[in-house]
Amino acid sequence: MRRLVVLACLTLGCPANPPPQYYAPAEPDPRAQPFPQRVPPADITKAGRLDDRMVDYQFDGGQLEFEMYRLGTRIVQTVRSRYAVAVMVAWTISSPENLQPVTAMNGAVYVPPAAQPLGLGPVVVLAEMELIDPTQRYRRELSFRARFGDPRVRPVPYAYALPYPRGQTFSVLQGFHGGFSHRGSNEYAVDFDCPVATPVLATRPGIVVAANATAQGSGTTQEYLDYKRTNFVIVQHDDGSLGEYMHLAPATIQVKPGQHVQRLQELALSGNTGFSSTPHLHFQVMTAAYDGVGARSFAFEMAIAPNRVEEPTLSHRYTAWETPTAAPPMR
């Protein structure tokens, strides 16, 4: 959870906040229309005065920019993204001082992608507040959590490649519904027992949308669940789903955001970073959940031999057989 505090002089009582506002239905709907976005009271980035700016959720490929504008006595909290992939953000504004909430002070919001990595996406309004005493300073705290992906995504059937070079054989340490860590957001993830420095190959064509190569160390305590503590590559497929490759070795990523990658193209070397008890490669097909906190993990199948696909199964050993020139098997 990220938290931002804006300093002020006064502590004033405020009435109860409106109930939480969520910008999406509670359950996935394949027919869902684009998420509604609150329209700024004006072109806030030009008409308003920028009072505060926080940059966070920053990896190779982009960042989130939280900005607070003043337009007369109206205070507007916004967010926008520099990632070329959608992001869901769960946010809370708390401890307002000299501020009267006008809209909900927490919720989950869809943040549209930028046109290209490090471009600037559209402004999304999180909340509006009114100054109680315009002659005095004001204060509020902002905290958030975020996930890559559009929760409306529905993956199409596809036979994914084994994510390591031809001729190499590895076992599944943890499969779907694994008891150690494959619950909730990681329900349909698979862990291969690849030793450190095994080449990690793309399981499906797509576009790299985010990556991190600077993390060091591993552990199984809560702080290692943070994306910042692991090295990863995230590839967006043509159906909008995301391929997530995690626990990579530091400084070994071979691709960059915005780059198109082919099936079996090398992405990085496997490692042992982040939430991990032993060297391995974690892969899953996923997108963000509607709440902006969790992920939606999708079951998938892998091409384990010519004309044979199956879900990766705990303790099974799989030998990679494809070459980079092999045609992607579609189902």
pTM score:
0.85
Mean pLDDT of the chain: 86
Average pLDDT of span 52-66? 97
Interatomic CA distance for residues 220 and 98, integer angstroms = 42
φ, ψ (nearest 5 deg) of residue 222: -55, -40
How far is Cα 203 from Cα 285, in angstroms, rounded to an integer?
10
Q: 262-294 pLDDT, tens per residue?
A: 999 999 999 999 878 789 999 999 999 999 999
Alpha-carbon span 209 to 59, nearest angstrom: 10
d(CA 319, CA 152): 34
- Side-chain-side CA neighbours of 142 within 13 Å: the count stands at 23
Beta-carbon contacts of 296 under 8 Å, excluding residues fewer than 6 positions away, are 28, 149, 151, 153, 185, 286, 287, 288, 289
| Alpha helix stretches (DSSP H) within the chain | 44-47
Please say whether the beta carbons of 59 and 210 come within 8 A: yes
Nearest of 282, 260, 273 to residue 216 by alpha carbon? 273
In the chain, % of residues over pLDDT 70: 83
Mind listing the domains of the chain with CATH numbers?
A: 2-148 (no CATH), 159-319 (2.70.70.10)
pLDDT of 180 > 80? The answer is no
Residue with tokens 């992001």: 87
Task: Specify whether the CB–CB gap between 302 and 201 falls below 8 A.
Answer: no
pLDDT digits (tens, 9 = 90+) for 139-176: 999 999 999 999 999 999 999 999 999 999 999 988 88
Determine the pLDDT at residue 176: 84
pLDDT reading at 209 higher than 50: yes
pLDDT value of position 40? 63
Name the 3-class secondary structure at 185: helix
**Predicted pLDDT of residue 2:** 52
Is it the case that residue 87 has pLDDT exceeding 60?
Answer: yes
